[in-house]
Structure 1
Amino acid sequence: MNRRNFLINIAAIFLGAFALLWFPFTKLQQLFAAQRIFNTAPPLKPLPTSSQTTIGEAFDGEELTYDIGFWLFDKAAIGHISLKRKDDGRYIATLQAETLGVIGWVTRHRKDTYIAYMEEADNGKRFVTNIFDKTVTIGGRTSRTVTKLDYKKRFMSWKSWKKDKTIEEKEEEILPDTIYDDPLAAFYNFRFGTYGPIEEGREYYITTFPKNGEKTMYIKIAAKEEKNRRIHSSPDDVDYLADVIIDKELFGSQTGRVEAFFSKEMIPTGGIVKDMIFFGDVRGILVEMKSKLAFKKERGI
């Protein structure tokens, strides 16, 4: 093979690889992803409308799986969110994300795990967190932070470890008439309507764990015109676009900004964590689900 043909073949291989990486961002990939959601998920039932339905009953057993990508890599990691009821009546919410393949090798197979132990409050209208456990493993090194809340004693504490060595330990009083929601409790409370009805243009302020002063999680539902302007490819596939600002340290973001996409039934169909350190914008798209909620909107797939 002469030099010219060799270079042509190399260029063709490069372009082919580039096309494979770029292809997942096209409309066709979105349709295939949506097809997997609707065609492979178990049969779903609409959420009961009875006023007796509690938040735990609404979300118990829900499991959501996301493909996670950044840069030109569409499936650099996989993420799972689930909620299960324990025998003692409390609930465990788990968020776990783990890098895969080449990206897994580059990131030393990073694995992030967030676990919230929660109980129902206000006659089942909201979740309240008792324990929030965050663990990050990179290679053989693990860092962990556990936050405990006791609302009867109005007392909270948190402790952080890195490589089995305590690096921070602190206690603080819980202010009267105050509930601190971790991100997982807020995830379910928001979808259930605990903070108010889901409406375009509405803003929500959620008190979360204080660290160096009280912190607030902010959520705003974009107006329809803004949603359509910002989601260029398929705005009709997203019923609600929520802009979220959370603690920057939670996901290792430079800004704490998140864009979340929801169906009318408040199923989180995808999202973007903005400005993550080393990775930039990190995208997630729902690929599998098990939920008592149902897609009621007809889609031409």
Structure 2
Amino acid sequence: MKKVIFILIFMTRLIYASDTTVQYDIDFSVAGTIAKATIQRVEENGNYVITLQAHTIGIAAKLTNNRRESYISQGSVVGSELITDVLVVIRATNGKEKFTVYKFDHKNKVVQKDTSEIKQVVTKRMDVINMCMIETVKEEFSYDSVKNDYYAENDIVSLFFNSRYYLGSMNAGEVKKLRAVGIKTNEGELVISTPVREVAGNKEQGELPKYELFNVAINKDYFTNGNGKLNVRLDPDGFPAKVTMNDVALFGDIVGIRLYDEVAFK
């Protein structure tokens, strides 16, 4: 499910309406559609809320105990840039919910991380008189509050809404390292690059590209070669048309596809 959310996050860039909802399917190359995703951005009175939700379906839901994940980024809009104040991450399965809240103190360059978890614990005992098993379910609650390991100006959601500032100044084939709260590897570091062939071809003709392309490098064990890359393609209207994560161990490619007939404008 972490890989599904990664695909979903890269589908959030450049949504301009004050209240817009977009639908996506998440597909495994060997298993078909395994998740549904929704992205909503609401902007009002200089503030914004972006909500990303994903849930597994079919056999994937059974294998993951109905895994659901949500990312909620809240903050202010300065010019056209998003300044994040809070990132809420919710992960849930049957019998377990985990809430992580990141609170940003930009003045002191500190991020506070609060984590709470509710878990159902099942115990069984044998009733020797009635010769049956008796099952007892109780809830356990835990809470922790610590300073996050690192500070970044963006969370994982706001970074990619703001990424047009970085991409606009990048040349074909250039690589940039960006940081965001909510990423577990390399202290929130991502490596973004622009493909040489597609971008350079448009610039040589002196035309704006008909679509935007960029790649994101990810170093994780779940890739067959130890390294992975997201390929992101944006439509002319700024919405992601397709995001592909290649060479995921055991599964092949994961693809996020825009559902054009299910886009709702409010």
> TM-score w.r.t. structure 2 length?
0.67
In structure 2, the residue matched to 1:215 is: 188
Where structure 2 has 5 or more consecutive residues not aligned to the other structure, the ranges are 1-12, 119-140, 202-209
Match of 2:233 among 261, 264, 267: 261
CA distance in 2, matches of 1:180, 1:77: 30
Task: Evaluate the alpha carbon distance shift between residue 278 and residue 291 of structure 1 in structure 2; reply closer, same or farther with a 3 A threshold.
Answer: farther
Q: Does 1:90 align with 2:66?
A: no
Task: Evaluate the alpha carbon distance shift between residue 258 and residue 212 of structure 1 in structure 2; reply closer, same or farther with a 3 A threshold.
Answer: closer
In structure 2, the residue matched to 1:125 is: 80
In structure 1, the residue matched to 2:142 is: 165
Superposed, 1:59-78 pairs within 5 Å as: 59-78=17-36
Cα deviation for residue 262 of structure 1 reads 1.4
Match of 1:108 among 45, 65, 87: 65
Cα deviation for residue 134 of structure 1 reads 1.0
Q: Secondary structure at the match of 1:96?
A: strand
CA distance in 2, matches of 1:151, 1:291: 33
Q: Conserved in 1, the CA contact under 8 Å of 2:106 and 2:153?
A: no
Cα deviation for residue 291 of structure 1 reads 6.5
1:52-100 residue CA offsets vs partner (Å, 9 max, x unmatched): xxx99934223221111114332221111110024x5311111111111
Specify the code of the residue in structure 2 equivalent to 1:97.
A
Task: Evaluate the alpha carbon distance shift between residue 226 and residue 188 of structure 1 in structure 2; reply closer, same or farther with a 3 A threshold.
Answer: closer
Q: Does 1:194 align with 2:165?
A: yes
Cα deviation for residue 265 of structure 1 reads 4.0
CA distance in 2, matches of 1:256, 1:170: 31
Cα deviation for residue 173 of structure 1 reads 9.4
Match of 2:244 among 272, 281, 286: 272
In structure 1, the residue matched to 2:178 is: 206
CA distance in 2, matches of 1:67, 1:78: 5
Match of 2:214 among 233, 238, 242: 242
Q: State the percentage of identical aligned residues.
A: 22
CA distance in 2, matches of 1:172, 1:139: 28
CA distance in 1, matches of 2:149, 2:64: 38
Task: Evaluate the alpha carbon distance shift between residue 173 and residue 74 of structure 1 in structure 2; reply closer, same or farther with a 3 A threshold.
Answer: closer
CA distance in 2, matches of 1:271, 1:227: 21
Q: Secondary structure at the match of 1:156?
A: strand
Cα deviation for residue 154 of structure 1 reads 3.5
Match of 1:135 among 81, 87, 90: 90
In structure 2, the residue matched to 1:282 is: 254
Count, aligned residues: 218
Task: Evaluate the alpha carbon distance shift between residue 226 and residue 194 of structure 1 in structure 2; reply closer, same or farther with a 3 A threshold.
Answer: closer
- Higher helix share goes to which structure? 1
1:240-270 residue CA offsets vs partner (Å, 9 max, x unmatched): 3321135869xx8775632212124432111
Q: Secondary structure at the match of 1:194?
A: helix
Q: Conserved in 2, the CA contact under 8 Å of 1:222 and 1:240?
A: no
What is the Cα-based RMSD across aligned positions, in Å?
Answer: 3.6
Specify the code of the residue in structure 1 equivalent to 2:166.
Y
Match of 1:185 among 136, 158, 170: 158
> TM-score w.r.t. structure 1 length?
0.60
Specify the code of the residue in structure 2 equivalent to 1:128.
I
- Higher strand share goes to which structure? 2
Task: Evaluate the alpha carbon distance shift between residue 129 and residue 115 of structure 1 in structure 2; reply closer, same or farther with a 3 A threshold.
Answer: same
Task: Evaluate the alpha carbon distance shift between residue 85 and residue 247 of structure 1 in structure 2; reply closer, same or farther with a 3 A threshold.
Answer: farther
Cα deviation for residue 211 of structure 1 reads 6.5
Cα deviation for residue 224 of structure 1 reads 2.7
